[in-house]
Structure 1
Amino acid sequence: MIDILIIGAGPSGLCAAKTFLQHNPNSKIVILDSHSTVGGVWSKERLYPTLRTNNLYPTMDFSDFPMKDAGIGRPGHHITGEEMHAYLTAYAQHFDLMKKIQFNTRAVRVQQGPTNDGWKVEIQGPADLISTVTIPTTLLETKKLVMATGILGVPSMPSLSGSSTFDVPLLHSSALGPQYQSVLQNPNINRVAVLGGSKSAYDTVYLAATTGHKVDWIIRKSGRSPSWVFPSHTKIGPFKAWREKLVNRRISTFFSPCVLPDRSGNQISWIREFLHTNNIGKAVTKKFWEIMHEDTIKDCRYRSDSKSKGKGDDERGDFSVLEPPHSPFWYGTSSGTLNYEQDFKALVTSGQVTVHREDISHISPHTIHFSDNAGAITVDALICATGYSAKPPIDFFPRELHFQLGIPTSTDSLTEEQKVAWDEYDKRADGIIGERFPQLVSPPWSTTDNNTNPSPPSTKIDTKYTPWRLHRGIAPPGLTAAGNNSLVFLSMHSSVTNIPRIELQWSIAPFALRAFLPAFLPEFAQKRQGKQGNLRTKPAGASLTTRLQIQPVHQSSKTRRYFNDGVRFDPLWDMEDIILI
């Protein structure tokens, strides 16, 4: 019997193993990972030449093992994929974690033990990223289970009509590492199409263009628009500000809605309420985001005017087509950084990259056909930078347990009682959010867009899964409320910084069987829901106060972060989210 089984040897999994071993050096800990090296998304097999962090050195390291101690990274530079992999390898070696890791092993199914105390995990191995061979499973039993797989486990691949006869490479951007040589170093591939408008699409376009390919960049006109991707620094008045550091400044966080408890202290905690509920404060907040919006447009040089045009800009390609339609306020962590050595805009304005704001109707041999008779293009490869599915990478069995765990599940697996319960909490949460942050109730887009202008079936994003509903983004609400502290989830959110160490301080509490929920829920319920915080009725799975806490957090993410994956998991955008979670 294993004491603690950790699934995932990326930053969160490694940090978890180190933390739990420091807490109890005699614990029997095993780490599983499907890759052959440490790092998760930074494992050696996932790397490609132009891969870099959005963050600048040294904001991606752990405080107890700085990158400078490993001799990795350069101040003021983005961290390369090779450097991140080298750092995480050095981290694992420094804390003697390598002997705990079982590589090339994939966890495929998890179920509770016979007495609901502990977990049984079916594993397959060896495995690889693109293996389709069925491998026999074996069973591991563990007292405690840590899910450190993150949110990038199941690629979301569009279902394109005609793909069986496409006759050219068709892959997801997550496979660029293992398939880089066979696709982008193939002399027979000259013209590459990239589908998607997120930061991963920017990265894929840049990689293809800088390896000498003509690129057709397809961004669905029925989709949510391109993401904001801006320089690492901006000008605020006469000052040059590091964007990443802005969310570390208390004054900046006050301009962002945050439904988590405000522990800033009585002397300054009133500032956020003033800025978001008082008419004068709302005007100040609106002006702040308007200035940020306009400055970001200038920084990104989307518009061909004297203020935004850079030296050497060519006008053969229209760069303004990449300008998102709304303020960065609404995009959360779906935004990214222009972390490239070459000028990205020049690749578009020179004509090497052609942007198509069209939907795909179908594909045929070497050809992509656009909807509404908008033409077709001939390509040698199609790379889909279409994000990741809400489907958990590991199947928890039975499915009825999903409701207790707060993990995404297919909507048809919920009972009518469960659907009614969550609908009720969604409505209550919306009321709480609307009262505290009225601007979130009136977003700058039609709430019926998805109904009046649906995505074509060929490129429709999978939305049949419920969102993540974890307490503090870590604990399964049903199990924890029932006193079962044998399971935690790590990094099940998007984030602008490295926060596993903070999450793990919370995780140690339930794993050590100390109180986790009771000390915080009554206070939260009173502060956030007023009289509703006194309700004590219990729907299936968790107390009402537990659910009343989870839902405002999720619903605010769903509203504020509409243009990223806020509808599925909670992006930790504001530094106060990270500090106070």
Structure 2
Amino acid sequence: MSSTARVGIIGSGAAGLITAHVLIQDGFKSVEILTRDNAPGGVWAAQRVYPGLTINNVHGEFRFSALPMPLPANANVTGGRLSGEDMRAYMESFADRFLKDRIKYDTEALNICRRNGGGWVVTAKGLNSGTMFELEYDKIVLCTGGCNEPRVPNDLSAEVAKEAGFRGPVIHSSQFASRILSILNAVDPSEGAVIVVGGGKSAQDAASFLAREGRRVRMVFEAADPVVAAPVPLPAFIRKSRFLALISPHVELKTRLERFLHTTWLGSKIVKAIWAFLSWSSFFSLNIPSNSPLRRTHSLFYGVRTNDEGVGRPDGFHALVNQGKIELVAPVRVKGYAPSSGSEGKTVKVVLNDGRELTANAVILATGFMSSWSKIFDDATAEELGLKTYPVKSDAFADEWNYTTLDSSVLTNHERGVARAANIYRGIVPAKNITQRDFAINGAIFTTNNGYAFEVIAHWISSYFLKDPFLHLPLTPQAAIQEAERNNAWLGKRYPNMLNEINESYSSDLAFWSWPQVVSTLLEDMSLPSWRSGGNWFTWPFKPIDLEEIACLKQERDQKRVECMQKN
């Protein structure tokens, strides 16, 4: 089956690359990727990768079924932990092999709007030439993720620091790879200091690199990310199986084991004990003292920001903290800057909310990211398409999900405010637009196995565009909206406050631990077998999930198409 529809894919990260590959394999003749980068890979593009960067992926694997990935260096020691360089090389290899001449580099999509008569118009800018132009597509796949637009608090911007007389570097963590030399040059190893604002993975990576380079580093944060670590590499039957997914409640409990674990008193005791042990053993494995600010974390169970440390490294973040090479200033918040007298602009005072002032020669703001969608859709298009956020209708589904593993005290006492979310069906299609079949999203579902999830989503999108009769969809936008609202209500209960903390372009669905359940639902939507890892009644929770399970999805979908034609 083939299609002459022109498909524009916005973003050349992992989601964009695998979506383009699947669409091309499915017969779409005109598929084009737009990216403002000069190399493929998104967050793993060459300009963003720096020494010491490691993948933050509990599953431990990030590739696609069409291309094997070489084992990383020292795999037997690290448990196969991938580096940023491993990811860069893989993404470039995938693009070179399957997507030659399909990617328009250095091209920034500035605006996307619906074309009169159908289809889409993308207003773009050539970053090398500075010229503006328009591109027309019949269908759009949005693959920008949530890591494109840096969030910089107004009081901490480089402009505000400059007003305080500071002439040194103030950068967002997304610029770290391109600004490493300027930071190293600004900080004297004998007397200078770098302040890293934030407690997440990017803050820890930047602080670790600078500490290894002999710079004095202070990391300022209110709360750190939780962490998963072990004294030895976790075996595949834990890391790559359904085990972690099964001890995480999902919107649908489809097996007797899940129902036992999350709806009975004994099951909840088992689940809570396992999560408590995972948290304790991770702190223990990394030798994190009981009074360390690094124990002030978001919940491992209720959050979606978890760092995978694997086996702690001698020069890793936690080891460097224990060695006194990274100073932790926490729990505090940075308020702004004050001038440093007589410094000739080489230092600035970073003002904390407890009244203290810290002197810095460079500041790195690991303060997160804003929505990558808001800049490319005007209000009218966002409203018409269905990308606007709305208050989550939790009251409408108050009687659902009375799971014993969800602690009511956490849910009622948490200062959540009003959670907001966009109504994205399956995390893929704006529910309001579902009957149009001309717009989809990949890369916005938060999971711990992106390669597997993005590939299945790409096949779902292709069937959606091709109007495959075997793809189960709501018949009306109203039905799709109702299903999306129900899922958002679930997310508000499962992950209190997360919908307010993670921008919508990176949280169309939160399937951090429960990604196997989400992927199984998408396979069932396509009338394909799910739960593919096999095993008997006792072993199936521990069977490793492997990409080879989905290597033949195209052929399976082709066969379904033939069967539907024969029936008609």
**TM superposition score normalised by structure 2:** 0.78
Q: Distance in 1 between matches of 2:388 and 2:216?
A: 39
Q: Distance in 2 between matches of 1:57 and 1:278?
A: 28
In structure 2, the CA distance between the partners of 1:368 and 1:544, relative to structure 1 (3 Å rule), is closer
Report the CA distance between 1:542 and its aligned residue.
5.8
* 1:496 counterpart residue number: 448
SS at match of 2:335: strand
SS at match of 1:140: strand
In structure 2, the CA distance between the partners of 1:441 and 1:281, relative to structure 1 (3 Å rule), is same
* 1:130 counterpart residue number: none
Match of 1:91 among 94, 97, 114: 94
In structure 2, the CA distance between the partners of 1:553 and 1:94, relative to structure 1 (3 Å rule), is farther
1:181-202 per-residue CA deviation (whole Å, 9 max, x = no partner) reads: 2223446583100000111111
Q: Distance in 1 between matches of 2:467 and 2:371?
A: 30
Is 1:152–1:388's contact at 8 Å kept on the other side of the alignment?
yes
Is 1:196–1:218's contact at 8 Å kept on the other side of the alignment?
yes
* 2:382 counterpart residue number: 402
Does residue 298 in structure 1 map to residue 284 in structure 2?
Answer: yes
Does residue 348 in structure 1 map to residue 321 in structure 2?
Answer: yes
In structure 2, the CA distance between the partners of 1:100 and 1:251, relative to structure 1 (3 Å rule), is closer
Is 2:303–2:495's contact at 8 Å kept on the other side of the alignment?
no
Counterpart amino acid of residue 554 in structure 1? L
Match of 1:432 among 400, 404, 407: 400
Is 2:193–2:362's contact at 8 Å kept on the other side of the alignment?
yes
In structure 2, the CA distance between the partners of 1:515 and 1:212, relative to structure 1 (3 Å rule), is farther
Report the CA distance between 1:83 and its aligned residue.
2.3
Counterpart amino acid of residue 146 in structure 1? V
In structure 2, the CA distance between the partners of 1:559 and 1:361, relative to structure 1 (3 Å rule), is closer
Q: Distance in 2 between matches of 1:210 and 1:234?
A: 23
* 2:119 counterpart residue number: 118
Report the CA distance between 1:445 and its aligned residue.
8.4
Q: Output aligned runs, 1:153-168, within 5 Å.
A: 153-160=148-155, 162-163=160-161, 164-165=163-164, 166-168=166-168
* 2:352 counterpart residue number: 370
SS at match of 2:429: coil
Q: Distance in 2 between matches of 1:353 and 1:359?
A: 18
Counterpart amino acid of residue 87 in structure 1? Y
1:347-392 per-residue CA deviation (whole Å, 9 max, x = no partner) reads: 223332111112223202311112232x211110110111111352
Is 1:52–1:79's contact at 8 Å kept on the other side of the alignment?
yes
Counterpart amino acid of residue 545 in structure 1? Q
Is 2:320–2:326's contact at 8 Å kept on the other side of the alignment?
yes
Is 2:208–2:316's contact at 8 Å kept on the other side of the alignment?
no
1:189-239 per-residue CA deviation (whole Å, 9 max, x = no partner) reads: 83100000111111111111111110111003xxxx2111343x457xxxx
Is 1:44–1:85's contact at 8 Å kept on the other side of the alignment?
yes
In structure 2, the CA distance between the partners of 1:508 and 1:119, relative to structure 1 (3 Å rule), is same
The alignment's C-alpha RMSD in Å is 3.2
SS at match of 2:266: helix
Q: Output aligned runs, 1:180-199, within 5 Å.
A: 180-186=180-186, 188=188, 190-199=192-201
Report the CA distance between 1:57 and its aligned residue.
10
Does residue 143 in structure 1 map to residue 138 in structure 2?
Answer: yes
* 2:521 counterpart residue number: 580
Is 2:15–2:442's contact at 8 Å kept on the other side of the alignment?
yes
Report the CA distance between 1:147 and its aligned residue.
0.8
* 2:241 counterpart residue number: 249
Counterpart amino acid of residue 119 in structure 1? W
Is 2:171–2:363's contact at 8 Å kept on the other side of the alignment?
yes
Q: Distance in 2 between matches of 1:401 and 1:561?
A: 26
In structure 2, the CA distance between the partners of 1:441 and 1:234, relative to structure 1 (3 Å rule), is farther
Is 2:144–2:372's contact at 8 Å kept on the other side of the alignment?
no
SS at match of 1:99: coil
Is 1:290–1:327's contact at 8 Å kept on the other side of the alignment?
no
Q: Distance in 2 between matches of 1:297 and 1:254?
A: 23
* 2:69 counterpart residue number: 67
Report the CA distance between 1:438 and its aligned residue.
6.1
* 1:412 counterpart residue number: none
Counterpart amino acid of residue 455 in structure 2? R
* 2:550 counterpart residue number: none
SS at match of 1:395: coil
* 1:533 counterpart residue number: none
In structure 2, the CA distance between the partners of 1:475 and 1:65, relative to structure 1 (3 Å rule), is same
Report the CA distance between 1:4 and its aligned residue.
0.6
In structure 2, the CA distance between the partners of 1:428 and 1:168, relative to structure 1 (3 Å rule), is same
Counterpart amino acid of residue 203 in structure 1? D
- Gaps spanning 5+ residues in structure 1: where? 128-133, 264-268, 305-317, 410-418, 452-462, 523-537
Report the CA distance between 1:73 and its aligned residue.
5.6
Q: Distance in 2 between matches of 1:256 and 1:560?
A: 17
Q: Output aligned runs, 1:434-473, within 5 Å.
A: 435-436=402-403, 439-443=406-410, 446-448=413-415, 466-473=420-427
1:223-267 per-residue CA deviation (whole Å, 9 max, x = no partner) reads: xx2111343x457xxxx634x8635433442221100x455xxxx
* 1:178 counterpart residue number: 178
Counterpart amino acid of residue 256 in structure 2? W
Q: Distance in 2 between matches of 1:578 and 1:442?
A: 31
Is 1:474–1:490's contact at 8 Å kept on the other side of the alignment?
yes
Is 2:261–2:267's contact at 8 Å kept on the other side of the alignment?
yes
Q: Distance in 1 between matches of 2:206 and 2:300?
A: 22
1:507-540 per-residue CA deviation (whole Å, 9 max, x = no partner) reads: 11211023587x3659xxxxxxxxxxxxxxx9x8
Match of 1:361 among 309, 312, 335: 335
1:430-476 per-residue CA deviation (whole Å, 9 max, x = no partner) reads: 4423x24562543188323x78xxxxxxxxxxx9x943431111111
* 2:558 counterpart residue number: none
Is 1:173–1:385's contact at 8 Å kept on the other side of the alignment?
yes
In structure 2, the CA distance between the partners of 1:250 and 1:14, relative to structure 1 (3 Å rule), is closer
Q: Distance in 1 between matches of 2:374 and 2:39?
A: 19
* 1:479 counterpart residue number: 433
* 1:460 counterpart residue number: none
In structure 2, the CA distance between the partners of 1:212 and 1:445, relative to structure 1 (3 Å rule), is farther
Q: Distance in 2 between matches of 1:563 and 1:336?
A: 23
SS at match of 1:328: coil
**TM superposition score normalised by structure 1:** 0.77
Counterpart amino acid of residue 229 in structure 1? V
Report the CA distance between 1:579 and its aligned residue.
3.4
Match of 1:39 among 27, 41, 47: 41
Identity value in percent: 23
Q: Distance in 1 between matches of 2:297 and 2:34?
A: 42
Report the CA distance between 1:405 and its aligned residue.
3.8
Instruction: State which drifts further: 557-566 or 249-258.
Output: 557-566
1:107-131 per-residue CA deviation (whole Å, 9 max, x = no partner) reads: 010001113x21110001125xxxx
Report the CA distance between 1:504 and its aligned residue.
1.0
* 1:229 counterpart residue number: 227
Report the CA distance between 1:328 and its aligned residue.
1.5
Match of 1:324 among 256, 277, 296: 296
Q: Distance in 2 between matches of 1:120 and 1:208?
A: 44
SS at match of 2:424: coil
Report the CA distance between 1:56 and its aligned residue.
8.4
Counterpart amino acid of residue 56 in structure 2? N
Is 1:262–1:580's contact at 8 Å kept on the other side of the alignment?
no
* 2:554 counterpart residue number: none
Instruction: State which drifts further: 286-295 or 150-159.
Output: 286-295
How many correspondences in the alignment?
493
Q: Output aligned runs, 1:309-320, within 5 Å.
A: 320=292
* 2:556 counterpart residue number: none
Counterpart amino acid of residue 48 in structure 1? Y
* 2:368 counterpart residue number: 387
Q: Distance in 1 between matches of 2:58 and 2:414?
A: 36
In structure 2, the CA distance between the partners of 1:559 and 1:515, relative to structure 1 (3 Å rule), is farther
